[in-house]
Amino acid sequence: MSIPKIIHQTFKSSKLPFLTRWHISGFRKKNPEYAYEFYDDARIAVFLQEEFGAEVFELYSRLNIGAAKADFFRYAVLYKKGGIYVDIDSGINSRLDDFIRADDVAVITREGDPTLYAQWALIYSPGHPFLEKTIEMVLSNIRQDKYPHDVHRMTGPTVYTLAIDDCLKNNPQTPHRLLGTDYNGHLKVKYKLGKFFLYEKGDHWKKKQLTTPVLKPQ
């Protein structure tokens, strides 16, 4: 199955700053063939309960930091629906059809740190093994409260990378296409001033995880 022409984004509420709305408008104009789906926290709750059931939603609900929730959601929505996920403080520089091929089922990329696969943006067809394994590992991390003050390892790029590595170890032919760092610049990681307008001081996950556990106490 080819990659559906849908762009997914999320934020805690639908009240977005002007700069964010301007970037969204810009990449939507570049990609008129693509539907756009925005999920606030309330819509994510409905989606997860309908698509994954009560047990998974209960585990997701234990996540205590917004970035960790967004991590889980991106894997979940693309596993079920496919398409393109882009962080709310990032963007799209190109026409997606200029680099996403009709026969692609997964387009992945490395971060600036070459030991990690990037997940600030994801491009997948539904049901891909990389996402299935990532979701499985994240749920295991939550059940065990494995990384109490480390979003990166609990839900973020570290566990995503481990999942891909595990899939490729077990089946090197798992279908995917690897682009250069950060999608060869077709997508834009963290546009200028995005974080400043989106997050209150001290609310960014890197600071928050130092004093706030990734999971709520049971």
The predicted structure's pLDDT at residue 105: 99
Amino acid letter at 69?
K
A 10 A CB-CB count for 100 gives 19
The predicted structure's pLDDT at residue 97: 98
pLDDT tens digit sequence for 163-188: 999 999 999 999 999 999 999 999 98
Question: Quick check: 194 pLDDT over 60?
Answer: no
A 10 A CB-CB count for 173 gives 6
Beta bridge partners of 178: 108
C-alpha to C-alpha distance for 24 and 107, rounded to whole angstroms = 21
pLDDT tens digit sequence for 1-15: 799 999 999 998 899
Question: Quick check: 110 pLDDT over 90?
Answer: yes
Between the alpha carbon of residue 190 and those of residues 100, 185, 210, the distances in Å are: 21, 12, 22
pTM over 0.75: yes
Give the mean model confidence (pLDDT) for residues 141-149: 92
Helix, strand and coil content of the chain, in percent to the nearest 5, comes to 45, 15, 40
Question: Quick check: 196 pLDDT over 60?
Answer: no
Give the mean model confidence (pLDDT) for residues 91-96: 96
Please report which confidence band the pLDDT of residue 148 belongs to, taking 50, 70 and 90 as the band edges.
confident
pLDDT tens digit sequence for 36-84: 999 999 999 999 999 999 999 999 999 998 899 999 999 999 999 999 9
Tell me yes or no: is domain 6-211 CATH 3.90.550.20.
yes
Question: Quick check: 201 pLDDT over 90?
Answer: no
Q: Among residues of the chain, what percentage have pLDDT more than 70?
A: 90
Give the mean model confidence (pLDDT) for residues 148-162: 94
Quick check: helix, strand or coil at residue 187? Answer: strand
Between the alpha carbon of residue 177 and those of residues 162, 188, 190, 216, the distances in Å are: 17, 19, 23, 37
User: To the nearest whole number, what is the mean pLDDT of the chain?
Assistant: 92
